[in-house]
Amino acid sequence: MKTLVSLHGALRRLQYSKRLIINRRGDGVHSPFAFHFISRVVRNRRPYYCFEELRAELEERKRTGRHLPPIHRTKALELLFRTAHELEARRLLIVTPEPEESLLPAYLERTGYTEEITLTDPQLTGLIPSAIYDFILLEAIPTPSLLEELLQRASTASPHLAVALYAPTSKAREGLAQLTPSARPRLQIDLIDLQLWFYDKRLTPCRSKGVYISYPYPR
């Protein structure tokens, strides 16, 4: 098992390196929106005021052995902060296996735009069908049928909907492939383990690939 984990890690690093070489300057991105988003958000080197404090809190959580949720790497958490900040997202939905353990609310409530964060499990327990969300973050991905219903309803209610999907395994990505065209985004940015989907019908249909990396803070 340890050998398989090591091999998986090596393949992941190779995939990241290949993407970084090919897409480091946004080469091959034909959508103006995607190029802008990758340049301004995905590759943003600016350390926001709250990052150092949040990194310290995460390190303390690791040191004390507290359980870590699926999204616990700083580079992913900070990218999702930047995404919500760029979108000026006010109403957010987080789907996570353990709502009380997720690190996402601590990051997202600091963007300066957040007005409401709703947390639910992958069964989408307790969601109000008429609720409107600007940004949906899927730390755990529901079954294809539940996801299909959620995305169709949310994209109809919010024409500018954005969705972040954490899909680090081939099994998770296979579930996404089962979605019908009515639930698929207008524009997709594939960042290997993270997918960013945008439903605004004004966007040029596009699927772009890239990588995101963590930057050290200047001292």
pLDDT for the residue numbered 53: 96
Confidence check: pLDDT of 19 > 70 = no
Confidence check: pLDDT of 11 > 70 = no
Do 129 and 146 meet the contact criterion of CB atoms below 8 Å apart? Answer: no
As a whole number of angstroms, the distance between CA 177 and CA 144 comes to: 9
Confidence check: pLDDT of 143 > 80 = yes
What Å distances lie between residue 85 and 78, 172, 204, CA to CA?
10, 26, 22
As a whole number of angstroms, the distance between CA 148 and CA 72 comes to: 26
Confidence check: pLDDT of 213 > 80 = no
pLDDT for the residue numbered 25: 53
Residue with more model confidence, 21 or 176: 176
pLDDT tens digits, residue range 91-137?
Answer: 999 999 999 999 999 999 999 999 999 999 999 999 999 999 999 99
pLDDT tens digits, residue range 28-82?
Answer: 677 899 999 999 999 988 889 999 999 999 999 999 999 999 999 999 999 999 9
pLDDT tens digits, residue range 173-197?
Answer: 888 989 999 999 999 999 999 999 9
Which residues, including other chains, have CB under 8 Å from residue 173's CB and lie 6 or more apart?
167
Confidence (pTM): 0.88
pLDDT for the residue numbered 29: 72
CATH 2.60.40 fits 2-209, yes or no: no
* Domain boundaries defined on the chain: 2-209
The four Cα atoms 189, 83, 145, 97 give a dihedral, to 10 degrees, of 120
pLDDT for the residue numbered 83: 98
State the number of CA atoms in the 13 A half-sphere of 16 facing the CB: 13
Q: Is the dihedral of CA 1, 17, 75, 59 positive or negative?
A: positive
Do 73 and 54 meet the contact criterion of CB atoms below 8 Å apart? Answer: no
Do 99 and 70 meet the contact criterion of CB atoms below 8 Å apart? Answer: no
Confidence check: pLDDT of 219 > 50 = no
pLDDT for the residue numbered 46: 85
**Strands 116-120, 91-95: pairing kind:** parallel
